[in-house]
Amino acid sequence: MKYRYVVLIGLINFILMSTIFQIFRINDALPNLCIILSIVFVALFSDKHAYIYALTCGALQDVFLGKILGINLLLYVLIVYVVIRLERVMFKGNFLTPFFLIAFATVLYHILFYIMMFFLQSTIPLSLLIVKIVTEIVYNSVLGLFFYSVIFKKLNGYKLGDFNA
């Protein structure tokens, strides 16, 4: 996949997430397609694709939606870095791999975001955040498993979890 397509996917993702996907909120949580697709790029494509996607999504979110410049960009790049290290020891054809990686990345994103906002003195009440985090973990994991399995089948020619292929 060419890098310009990765940037285009990031741009389309930003437009859809900030407009149309706002309808699909559950408990005020929205699935974070930046995290989901970053994991898919790490696991099924290359590290460079994942970094370019994370930079694109983070920069767009910071410039257009963020209060502080660079927070989302830094968090998405850190998530890609950590997931690259974890992904190398995991089997890509297992159902648990995308589920675990996406859930871990979502928790890591929210913990780091909360810590950064705490030090910048712009905190959110932790009790409200926990309900949102749990909902978003489930939402991201289910949606991410769907995306991962569809792209996995398209790239490899067999279904996710089909060990006889």
The full DSSP string for 38-88 is HHHHHHHS-HHHHHHHHHHHHHHHHHHT-SSTTHHHHHHHHHHHHHHHHHT
Whole-number pLDDT of residue 3: 92
Nearest to 143 by CA among 81, 78, 87, 99: 99
pTM exceeding the 0.85 threshold for the entire prediction: yes
Decide which of 162 and 127 is more confident. Answer: 127
Whole-number pLDDT of residue 16: 92
